[in-house]
Structure formats: structure tokens, C-alpha cells
A and B are shown apart, each in its own frame.
Chain A
Amino acid sequence: MTPKAPRFNNCAVLSPQQLDQLLQVLIKRDYEVLGPTIREGAVVYDHVDSTKDLPAGWTDEQAGGKYRLKRREDDALFGFVVGPHSWKKYVFPPAMRLWQAHRSDGLFQIVPETRKATKFAFIGVRACELHALSIQDKVFLKGPYVDTVYKLHRENIFIVAVDCVQAGGTCFCASMNTGPKAAAGFDVALTEVLHEGRHHFIVRMGTKAGADLMSQVPHEEATAADVEFAENLVAEAAKHMGRSLDVNGIKEILYRNIEHVRWDQVADRCLSCSNCTMVCPTCFCSTVEDLTDLSGQQAERWRKWDSCFTTDFSYIHGSSVRSTPRSKYRQWMMHKLAYWIDQFGTSGCVGCGRCITWCPVGIDITEEARVIREGETLASAAG
């Protein structure tokens, strides 16, 4: 990993109490502070009032189709990887009303939604998630059509990133070059260190806003040894990824194998339940639903998360373009790893592993890609 050097060079050290003070400063500055917390047997993102709400002393064990919380032997506040939620739910809400309309005197009048700008502070954003946010920025903000809702929620976010000092069983950010170290896109970034009875956070400032916030929080200067120790922890995590995905030429390989027998095999297992797309931090598809009241005088249009795994999603006058699980799964994986590169100039996958963990039957995108790649290697060796 070769992360860009932070723009503000001095690193700081925060104790857990001082980290709480950082949260309190954010709250005082009218931020809606959101971070990891335990609910329904998982680490989810929700409101946090203080570091007491963080999952202190918890970790997660993840495998294909399996997630379990486990007690740690220490009181680490960020001693887990990513859970079922991603930050996209705050910038790209799962369901929202786009407008209302009513009929009066035979006329149809649109009532636009009035939306207040939000001021979110995201606490504990991982490197893969920073990349996911930057990918969604491209999708929603950088094209010819700007998504005004996304823009409204996205603009004022204060991001406290956290480096991963452990890798999960389904993580493969090292393969995707998206982690485990937070390289860019944060206001401040923390590395949590628990060592020889000490528990502290090494803080890097990514923006002026981050540096300004830190000036309001009591802290110490980090020594070169502190910083090196923290960097080693992150470097070590990179070596212990639960999964890996060889991205070398992946786009071309997938394009060449659009009729591979593997698509049929994965379709035998695929539930087309959409979970992979719902948990994916970059998936951005939505549908709109129109509703009326019984009198026919009021109407509403809603936008909801949709998925390429539903048949309605690809419905074009008369029938669905992709009606089989085979074509749906292929579309999803090809989009993530191949079409996305043509469409947005980056992979659509950040290696967070959520689609593997939260697939009820544990279908593994890294395994599917590996089998297709190896099929090619074998074929070329034979022929």
C-alpha cells in the first residue's frame, strides 16, 4: 500500500477519553454523530452520543454466509471490521419521497419536497468505505446529472476514518488496493493502538476542518515511534486478508467468459434475494413507485433501493431483459468487476466482503472470479 501522505504532517495521540471529547465537540457543533454500535447481534451504524455507545470489547467473525459477534480480550473500540450496514444509507436513503402532487380545479399540481441540509459526522469509516463513498460520489455527483438528495446529504459530512488493524474473514481490500489504511477522503483518521497496557489513537489530519477540530480537543503530539508502531499494525492487517481477488486483467477475462459454465453453476446456488446488492456500499440502483390516495386527489412518488436481482428491475415494455438467476448474477458481478470500469473508470468493488458474508448461502465473488480465471489458464495451458 502506498497511501498519499496526509496534508497535515503532525500526528496526534488521543486517549479514549479524549476521543470522547472529540465526539462531544462534534455534537456541540450540531453534527448528527453516527457510528458503529451493537444491535441485533451485529455491528451496525446508528446514532452515537459518546464513545460508550461504541462496541467496546467486541469483534466479529465472518465467513461466507456467516457473521458472529465475539468478545475480545481487550476494550478496543474499533476491534471489528465492517457489518451489514454501509454509510450509503445516510447519503442514498433506502426509501424517500421525491414529491407529492394534488389535483385541484382539474389541475395537477406538483409539491416538491422541502429538504433540510443534514450535517452528519461519520465515526469509524474504514478505508474500503472511503473508497465506496468516492465511487458513489462519481456516480451521483460527477456525471451530467447530479443527484440533489445525495449532494445535500454528502456535502457537509465530517469523516472520522479508522484504519483496520485486523482483517475480517471475508475482507479483500488489499487486493482491491482500497485498504486497510485510510489514504484519502477523511477529515481525521485514527489508528487504534492497544499495546502493553496502553490504549490510544494515533490521529492523522486529512483536512483543515479536521485540524481545526483537533485544535479543540486536548491531545498529545505523536512520536515517530508511535506513528511507526501504528503503521506496522495496519501493514500487518494487510497480510491477513481472509480473501483475495486477482484483479489483473479481470475486466477482459470476464468479457471473454460471458458464456462460461460457471454462471450456470452459481445460478444453482443463487437465491436472487438481492442481499449482496443491498449490503454493497457502491450499489446505487433504485426504483420509483407512484402512489395515490383513494379519492385520486393526492399522489406521491417514492424512490426506493432496487436491485438487479429483481425481475421488475430489467422490465422493459413487454418483458424482462434478465429473467433468470444466471443472467442476474452475471449482470451484478460483471458490473462490479468489469462494466463499472468502462462506465466510471474504477472497479465497482472495494473488497469489503459484505456480499460474501451477507449472502445467506455464502456465494463468494472472489471464488467465482478465481474459477473463471483459472478456467482460462487451464484452457491456455492445454491448448
Chain B
Amino acid sequence: MAAVRKPKIAVWKFASCDGCQLSLLDCEDELLSIVGAVEIASFPEATRAVVKGPYDISLVEGSITTPHDEERIHTIRRSSKLLITIGACATSGGIQALRNFKNVADFIPMVYAKPEYIETLSKSTPINDHVFVDFQLRGCPINKLQLVEVLNAFLNRRKPVTPAHGVCMECKRRGTVCVMVANGTPCLGPVTLAGCGALCPAYDRGCYGCFGPKETPNTTSMSAGWTALGVTEPELVRAFRSFNAYAEAFRKESEAHER
């Protein structure tokens, strides 16, 4: 068989903690087969060697928070055949989207000695607010096995197996007892996208909503259920306003309880 050129992959960072791109290095068992299947062309966290674009696949981490990044994402889009966003920052604006509910100008002098050096946008926004995104892989952080699955699917020209349903199905399939029903622990599982394998409920904690809203999320009923467990309005605001605060369903629900 003739040698086939390996697809070139680039990993890009915007406003983020680097945790999601680290998942690629975290792949351990799968890492050798990944570098066997693709050419890591640009991945500053892993190597200083950079191969010029264009790239077959760009993995984009982080949200858009500065005028400079607002420009940069378009350059990346132009040099990428496929653009896949990874993580809560890139797909919903991340934890830094908490600024979206306040006036960011008020924060700058509190944090920086020389506020005049700071050039920032009023909102932290997901990548697909700015450019066309081919696929979004959610989670804070993403599940490395899902990342491998997504790469795998694109390399093999098939649809990735990343469910749109909620966390509850993962709990039930693994036999985890519902923490909300059996213990009265508030849990966002019923409105949160699956993908983590129902990690927190398996350790007797309620779901924190790291993967953001699932398909058809009934956040109003979820809040009513939490209220029945004694959760207060400010606590509801905080629950929906975390890593995926600016994802539409969670944003609207937190705003409904803020007064």
C-alpha cells in the first residue's frame, strides 16, 4: 500500500486553564497510537517544533476574551479543514464567562496595578459565536476517552459516539444509586450532558454540571426539585452559574433566580 500522508493536527489555546489540551497528553495508553495515526503539527504544550499549516484538524481550547483573540480565531479557521472545539471554555465561554453577568471594567482596577495595559472584551464567548465549528466536545475538563473517540471518528470518517442525553442514564447503566432520590443530595445530572461517566454521583456527590446542558434540559423543573430539597434562590444561581454559566439553558435558569 502506498504511504498515506498522516493528517496534520494542531492544538490551539485561547482563554482557558490548559486542562483540556492536557487530556490529549493524558491519553497515555492511546497516545502512541494517536501519534501513529496523526502528525502533531502544532501543539506548544507538548513540543516547540511547529509545522506550518494548513491543518487537517484543529483542536481549539478556550474562549474568546480579547480583541486579539477575536482576530486570531479567524486565522485559525482559515488554516483548518476541520475545527473541533474542546471543553467548556471553547463551547460555552467557561468559568470566565462569569464576567458576562457583571461589568468587567469594575474588576480590572481591582486586579491589575496598571489597568491601562489591559485590553479585554466585556464578555467571554464560545468559539462558535465567532467562527463555524465542525464539532463541539464538551466538558470541564473533557473526557479524554471522548477526545480519542472524536479524533477516531473523524479519522475514520464516521459520526462520533458522544451521546446528547443526560448524566442519569450513565448512573443507571453503571448501577449507581440516585443521590438525589436516596439521599436528598441536589444533583444537576437530570439536566446535564453525559460524557463523564457519572463520576460525581459514583462518589456520592451531586452532579456539578461540568458538561453543560443536555438536550431538552428542563431547568425550571430541576430548580423546583432542588427547591423542594431546601436549596435557596442564591444557591440555585450559583449552581447554574459555574463552568457552563453562559450556556443558554443554564444562563437563563440562573438569571431567573437572580433578583
Please list the residues of chain A having a beta carbon within 8 angstroms of any beta carbon in chain B. Answer: 39-42, 44, 65-69, 83-85, 89, 94-95, 268-275, 278-279, 289-296, 304-305, 307, 309-312, 323-325, 357-361
B173 near A278 (CB under 8 angstroms)?
yes
Residue in B164, B189, B218, B224 whose Cβ sees the most chain A Cβ within 10 Å: B218
Contact call A278/B169, Cβ cutoff below 8 A: yes
Q: How far is the CA of A95 from the CA of B180 in the complex (A)?
A: 24
Question: How big is the B interface, by class?
Answer: 35 or more
A145 to B186, CA, bound (A): 43
Q: Please determine whether A312 and B165 come into contact, CB atoms closer than 8 angstroms.
A: yes
From B149, B168, B215, B221, contact of A291 by CB (8 A): B149
Which 7 residue pairs of A and B lie closest in terms of their CB atoms, listed nearest first? A278-B172, A273-B190, A40-B177, A94-B173, A271-B190, A273-B168, A294-B37
Given A67-B182, A325-B218, residue A274 in contact with residue B177 (CB < 8 A) = no
Which among A41, A66, A294, A359 has the highest number of chain B CB atoms within 10 Å?
A294
- Write the B223-240 contact mask toward A (1 if CB under 8 angstroms, else 0): 011000000000000000
Tell me which of B104-112, B123-131, B135-143, B150-158 binds A. B150-158
Mask: chain B, 89-131; 1 = CB below 8 Å from A; 0 = not: 0000000000000000000000000000000000000000000
- Per the bound structure, the CA–CA distance linking A11 and B202 in Å amounts to 43
Q: In whole angstroms, how far apart are the Cα atoms of A63 and B161 in the complex? A: 36
- Check B36 for interface membership: any CB of A closer than 8 A: yes
Find the B residue at minimum CB distance from A357.
Answer: B181
**Most chain A Cβ neighbours within 10 Å, of B153, B156, B181:** B181
Q: Are A358 and B169 in touch, CB under 8 angstroms?
A: no
21 A-B pairs in the complex with CB atoms less than 8 angstroms apart: A40-B177, A41-B183, A65-B180, A66-B181, A68-B182, A84-B172, A275-B168, A278-B172, A290-B161, A291-B149, A291-B161, A294-B34, A294-B151, A294-B155, A295-B33, A304-B173, A310-B163, A310-B164, A324-B216, A359-B181, A360-B189
- Cβ–Cβ contact A44 & B164, under 8 A: no
B196 sits at the interface (CB 8 A): no
Interface pair B181/A65, CB less than 8 Å apart: yes
B187 within 8 A of A: yes
Is B79 an interface residue when CB atoms closer than 8 A count as contact? no
A69-B182, A95-B173, A271-B218 given. 11 additional CB < 8 A pairs? A40-B177, A84-B178, A269-B224, A271-B168, A272-B216, A274-B166, A278-B169, A294-B34, A294-B36, A294-B37, A305-B172
CA distance A271 to B217 in the complex (A): 7
Q: How far is A357 from B34 in the complex, measured between Cα atoms in Å? A: 45
B15 interface residue per 8 A CB criterion: no
Q: Are B191 and A271 in contact (CB under 8 A)?
A: yes
Q: Is the CB of B177 within 8 A of A307?
A: no
B residues less than 8 Å from A69 (CB atoms) = 182
Q: Which of B34, B36, B182 has the most CB of A within 10 A?
A: B182
